[in-house]
Amino acid sequence: MIGVFDSGHGGLTTLAALQRDLSEQTFLYLGDHANAPYGSRTPGEITALTRAALQSLFDRGCTLVIIACNTAAAAALRDLQQGWLAREYPRHRALGVFVPVIEALSGRGWADDNPPDDGADQRIAIFATQATVASGAFPREMAYRARNVDIRQVACPGLVEALEAGQTGQARALARDFAGRLDGFVPDKVFLGCTHYPLVADAFAAGLAPGTPILSQPDCVAASLRDYLTRHPRHGDLPGDTSRETAYPTITYLTTGDPAQVRSAARALTGHDFDFRSL
């Protein structure tokens, strides 16, 4: 069983792609709605909340967790991997969602430690939370892999809050406004650096130059996870394997918030029903 964790509803966009491309797997989704959003929190708070979420999923039988929150992945994952996880859970894995995007943008594998390639003067715009932008994780990791890449980051305060509250009209207006804040910078590619943002991807597109390609993070993550499970099959369910007894259906949804409110907001955002239960 694979855990998928997000600060709130954003990870549902990643989970949908995982379910589509890895239908043989069992998923346990945890939304930390009681503490959302993470984007305005300190690195210490983000790390503590991420660790608590990982612990909850490990306790429920997950040996692999996808941190479907760019803020948590950017601000907390490296320290947790090198510290707490290495000490307490050496056989468990927590993987972040921005690694597959860096691989897609740079054309380089994460473990490739060769000198940076020529990025051919790419211009990339990244829209993300305040904490993700402040972490510098995306430009830092790109610099390790590609030269001559011009990255413009735009922090989007208030957008996650609007989405979490199910205020889709306000969220769409904010997304279009943020997309227009590039101040003459014309990107070759756009990356929505928060898993909530694909919920209003069309609003971002409306504020950009027509035809500007927006990278699909959920698709990148799904392809990367399939490759990972091919190399590390012990962390997933093999097709036709009935040896793993589980009390969970194919997907279970847990929340630290009020399940009724979370279900209502999720339906307002996605048009789908999710049977969220209390953690």
Q: What is the pLDDT of residues 130-166, one digit of tens each?
A: 999 999 999 998 888 888 899 999 999 999 999 998 8
For CA atoms 161, 163, 169, 173, the dihedral sign is positive
CA distances from 220 to 21, 100, 117, 215 (A): 11, 6, 21, 8
The answer to whether residues 193 and 154 belong to one domain is: yes
93-96 and 117-128 beta bridge pairing: unpaired
* Number of other CB atoms surrounding residue 156 within 10 Å: 26
The total domain count for the chain is 2
DSSP annotation of 248: S
The answer to whether residues 241 and 174 belong to one domain is: no
DSSP annotation of 246: -
Task: Reply yes or no on whether 62 is catalytic.
Answer: no
With residues binned 3-state (H G I as helix, E B as strand, rest as coil), the percentages for the chain, rounded to 5, are: 45, 20, 35
* Burial status of residue 239 (CB atoms within 10 A of its CB: 0-12, 13-18, 19 or more): exposed
Q: Does a structural domain hold residue 107?
A: no
* Number of other CB atoms surrounding residue 20 within 10 Å: 11
Quick one: tokens of 230?
């091919």
Given the residues 62, 69, 156, 220, select the one marked as catalytic. 69
The answer to whether residues 48 and 94 belong to one domain is: yes
- Note the helical H segments in the chain: 11-21, 43-59, 70-75, 77-82, 84-88, 98-106, 130-135, 137-145, 159-164, 168-179, 201-206, 217-231, 259-270
Q: Residue 147's pLDDT is what?
A: 85
The answer to whether residues 149 and 229 belong to one domain is: no
The answer to whether residues 256 and 204 belong to one domain is: no
Domain hosting residue 79, numbered range: 2-99+218-278
pLDDT in tens, the chain (279 residues): 999 999 999 999 999 999 999 999 999 999 999 999 999 999 999 999 999 999 999 999 999 999 999 999 999 999 999 999 999 999 999 999 988 998 888 888 777 778 888 767 889 999 999 999 999 999 998 888 888 899 999 999 999 999 998 899 999 999 999 999 999 999 999 999 999 999 999 999 999 999 999 999 999 999 999 999 999 999 987 555 544 445 555 899 999 999 999 999 999 888 999 999 999
The answer to whether residues 172 and 229 belong to one domain is: no
What is the domain-level CATH number for residue 265? 3.40.50.1860
Given the residues 62, 156, 194, 220, select the one marked as catalytic. 194
C-alpha span between 219 and 224 (Å, rounded): 9
2-6 and 27-31 beta bridge pairing: parallel
The answer to whether residues 231 and 202 belong to one domain is: no
* Number of other CB atoms surrounding residue 129 within 10 Å: 29
Task: Reply yes or no on whether 220 is catalytic.
Answer: no
Give the angle 85-87-90 at the CA atoms, nearest 5°: 60
* pTM value surpassing 0.85: yes
The answer to whether residues 149 and 197 belong to one domain is: yes
C-alpha span between 217 and 194 (Å, rounded): 9
The answer to whether residues 139 and 195 belong to one domain is: yes
